[in-house]
Amino acid sequence: MVLALLLALLLAPLPARAEIEPGDLTLTVTPELNGGAVPYPREMVLLRIHGVYKQPIMLEEVIQPTLANFTWTQLGRDHWSRTKLPDGQSALAFDRTVAVFPHHAGDFTIEPFTHKLTVNDAGARRVVEVRSNPIPFPVAAWTAPTGGPDAKEPWWLPARDVTISDTWSQDPETVKLGETVRRTVTLEAQGMVAEGLPPRPVMRTRGILTFAGPVARETLITPSGPVARATYVWDVKPGVPEVIPLDAITIPWFDTGTRTMREAEIPARQIGGGLPDRETDLAPPVRGGPLAAAAAALAAFGLGLALLGFGAARGRRRLAAPARRALHRAARTGDPVRFRAAVDAALRAAPDLAGLWRARPETAARLAALDRAVYGGGDAPVPDLPALARDLSRGVRGPAPVAAGRLRPLDGPA
């Protein structure tokens, strides 16, 4: 009923024509090729179906071909509008968008679409069928040595663009043994429907328990085409008291605009090892009985001896959590200059760590490789920046820094 009322409103100003002439009713189907190139199997191609009708229309029905060798889905509802032709005449415009996904390589044909119209022909109702032309539709075979539509791994993901967001219910570096934190990763792909997005990535490492939640998928219809979204959820629980590194997860995808393979990344993080971020962690301890008071007094005595130089403190030193996060962010960009700037900022905040890093041969070698990549004129290879960020984020044993204003003994270290 709503469609009938809409058509009645659109048709009201159109004058009745004496008879149907050639060109009064036209229907075209145009494939929207990604980058103007022949598509690969399982790559989405939009079919833009457009009709222009000068005659008043009372009823209509689109008869779609079987689309053998394709999976297809209609994107949104049909759209009717009023348009002006080059000769100044007024007409109705019909638009429908269908996304098709070829199953395999080969030379195919999109058979004609048929628009069955009931028109007013000189005051009489008349049923006419307007047909589009058949369209040749070649599908290219994947020739690269790896990947592609037929490979089991990695997942074939052709899209115009892919973005990833990674959120946690709390900072994972503040999670303690036995606590649970929820990680939510949202993957969005432009020019793709949700059914084509990959399954949940595998997030598994030593020392943690993970409980995967259901995957939520949806397709958003936009003027430029569909946007597919998948949301993956894990509940993560550390099982050991040590710092647990989570490696980055790489998701390869095919850029349909540039026709090249690219990569999106779920960033690396770490569980534990950071500063507390809750008020309960910073609250003063509950007062205990006489034994607790005696233990506290003994600990205070030992601390006082350490501060007086009774023995050299060789604790575990590491960067603060903000500096570690800055290193990981810079490493994910793959830019050695930006990463070197993050290292400089970290050293300004903790200058005593420079010597401790240089004392570790593996760390020193990676830092030297980074300096060659930044200052060597562009010929030196860039080291593994995420690995270097993880290395610099780990704790390192060494003497505590000398307090400001305290002079070192003249006859040797205390």
Q: Please give the biggest Cα pair distance in the chain.
A: 115
The model's confidence at residue 320, banded by pLDDT at 50, 70 and 90, is confident
pLDDT of residue 132: 96
Give the tens place of pLDDT for each residue, 218-268.
999 887 789 999 999 999 999 898 899 999 999 999 999 999 999 999 999
Alpha helices (H) in 58-146, listed in sequence order: none
Residue 403 has pLDDT above 50, yes or no: no
Percent of residues, the chain, with pLDDT higher than 90: 47
pLDDT of residue 307: 41
Give the tens place of pLDDT for each residue, 197-215.
999 999 888 889 999 999 9
Give the tens place of pLDDT for each residue, 262-298.
999 999 999 987 654 444 444 444 455 555 545 555 5
d(C-alpha 370, C-alpha 387), whole Å = 12
pLDDT of residue 378: 62
Least confident of 26-35, 151-160, 400-409: 400-409
Answer for the pair 250, 147: CB distance below 8 angstroms, yes or no.
no
Q: What SS3 class is residue 308?
A: coil
User: Which residues are CB-neighbours of 359 under 8 A, at least 6 positions away?
Assistant: 398
pLDDT of residue 12: 46
342 versus 114: the higher-pLDDT residue is 114
Chain-centroid distance of CA 132 in Å reads 38
The model's confidence at residue 98, banded by pLDDT at 50, 70 and 90, is very high
pLDDT of residue 343: 87
pLDDT of residue 351: 79
4: which 2 tokens? Answer: 């009938």
Answer for the pair 244, 229: CB distance below 8 angstroms, yes or no.
no
pLDDT of residue 380: 79
291: which 2 tokens? Answer: 């034994």
Beta partners for residue 51, in sequence order: 27, 94
Alpha helices (H) in 212-261, listed in sequence order: none
Least confident of 96-100, 142-146, 313-317, 364-368: 313-317
Q: What is the overall mean pLDDT for the chain?
A: 82
> Which 8-state DSSP code applies to residue 314?
-
370 versus 283: the higher-pLDDT residue is 370
Closest-CA residue to 394 (of 218, 273, 292): 273
Peptide bond into 223 cis (omega under 30): no
pLDDT of residue 377: 63
The model's confidence at residue 327, banded by pLDDT at 50, 70 and 90, is confident
> What is the mean predicted confidence (pLDDT) over 56-66?
93
Closest-CA residue to 228 (of 191, 253, 262, 256): 191
d(C-alpha 23, C-alpha 267), whole Å = 57
Q: Read off the pTM.
A: 0.62
From first CA to last CA, the distance across the chain in angstroms is: 93
Residue 412 has pLDDT above 50, yes or no: no
120 versus 244: the higher-pLDDT residue is 244
Burial (CB < 10 A; 0-12, 13-18, 19+), residue 266, is buried
The model's confidence at residue 18, banded by pLDDT at 50, 70 and 90, is very low
- Which amino acid is present at 258? T
